Amino acid sequence: MSAFKDQSGKINSNLFHKVLAPKTGRQRSSLIMGPAYGVDTAVIDLGNGQGLAASSDPVSLIPSLGLKESAWLTVHLLANDMATTGFAPQFAQFVLNLPPDFELKAFEEYWGYIHEFCDKLGVAITGGHTAQVPGQQSTTPGGGTMFLQAPLNDIVTADGGAPGHKLVVTKESALVSSSILAMSFPETVREKCGEAVWRQATENFYRTSSLAEALAAAEVLQPNKELMAMHDVTEGGVLGAIAELAEASGCGFKVFDEQLPASEIPRKVCEVFDIDHRFCVGAGSMIMAVSQGCENRLQSHLEELDIAASVVGELVPKEQGSVLVEDGEEKLFEFDGEDPYWKAFFKAMEEGWQ
């Protein structure tokens, strides 16, 4: 019980397999991809060669960010999960359990942005539930689910990797975590990093959609024959996402630390909060497992679209374990599922950082 109580953020693999995985309701043959650790979407066979993909995530309402920025996270973190299928989301539902002091004017503004961002993505809002709840003060007051329909055989899932598949990472590590920290504690980041770093870190916030690169990958590579698996970078950062994709695929991995995409701005912000950028929430980056020989074609296509992409290693047989190569030394990699961003954020709040 204490392990669950003490953990912040998403539950780890051990808890998932111990508590959730054995109890998933009625088994149905039409459920092609059900609950699995490291897998972003469920897939249901609708018949006639069509599939329904669905994914859920918390909604965001973070006062230190603002209503527009919170709505952006709400919509785009959901859309990033959907993007791992190789298709864009089409429908969404939202559950909002709002604080009792959340004013109507603020709610109208917040919901207006939810509508705007969904509309721009082509997502129809189909329903949900909205209420004000006494005692509610969470920055994640509810959840959302997105859906899409697509040809079943073309839907990519995070469990499709196999030994020999190359691992490609887009953009850079810790994009969203470093930007939220910079926006939430501007005086601290300005003082320790300078105005230019703070400004660029805040501008990185709107780079946290990974839909464009996922759709581009599905255009240039054949789904489930060349483009084998995708997983967006959320809690646990770039290395956590690679570990989750590998676990979902029944593989280990060999990754080279110096090839992990890391830019100066997120790293400097993470250093202020004494956290490792490789393990911090990294929405905006996408992990892609591709058949050997396809990685350069994918990388070139993404770079033509001005999307940086790095080949960081490959999946290996599970019995070989997972290895991170740092300074030429191979080290066994173990991931406990914990993201240092959460503790850093709440610690800074408790200490009154501005």
Q: Which domains does the chain have, with CATH numbers?
A: 29-154 (3.30.1330.10), 166-350 (3.90.650.10)
Give dist(CA 120, CA 125) in Å, integer: 12
Give the 3-state secondary structure of the chain.
CHHHHHCCCCCCHHHHHHHHCCCCCCCCCCEEECCCCCCCCEEEEEECCEEEEEEEEECCCCCCCCHHHHHHHHHHHHHHHHHCCCCCCCEEEEEEEECCCCCHHHHHHHHHHHHHHHHHHCCEEEEEEEEECCCCCCCCCEEEEEEEEEEHHHCCCCCCCCCCCEEEEECCCCHHHHHHHHHHCHHHHHHHHCHHHHHHHHHHHHHCCCHHHHHHHHHHCCECCCEEEEEECCCCHHHHHHHHHHHHCCEEEEEEHHHCCCCHHHHHHHHHCCCCHHHCCCECEEEEEECCCCHHHHHHHHHHCCCCEEEEEEEEEHHHCCEEEECCEEEECCCCCCCHHHHHHHHHHHCCCC
Which amino acid belongs to residue 160? G
Buried b (16+ CB within 10 A) or exposed e, 130-142: eeeeeebeebebb
Per-residue pLDDT of the chain (354 residues; tens, 9 = 90+): 445 545 567 888 889 999 999 999 999 999 999 999 989 899 999 999 999 999 999 999 998 899 999 999 999 999 999 999 999 999 999 999 999 999 999 999 999 999 999 999 999 999 999 999 999 999 999 999 999 999 999 999 999 999 999 999 999 999 999 999 999 999 999 999 999 999 999 999 999 999 999 999 999 999 999 999 999 999 899 999 999 999 999 999 999 999 999 999 999 999 999 999 999 999 999 999 999 999 999 999 999 999 999 999 999 999 999 999 999 999 999 887 789 998 999 899 899 999
pLDDT score at 63: 87
Contact assessment for residue 39 and residue 158, using Cβ atoms and an 8 Å cutoff: yes
Give dist(CA 283, CA 340) in Å, integer: 15
| Residue whose C-alpha is closest to residue 198's, from 209, 186, 208, 206 | 186
Buried b (16+ CB within 10 A) or exposed e, 278-312: bbbbbbbbbbbbbbeebbeebbebbeeeebebbbb
Contact assessment for residue 144 and residue 57, using Cβ atoms and an 8 Å cutoff: yes
Dihedral over Cα of 281, 215, 55, 312: its sign = negative
Q: How many residues does the chain have?
A: 354
Structure tokens at 93: 């539902």
Cβ count within 10 A of residue 238:
27
Strand partners, 169: 287, 310
pLDDT score at 1: 40
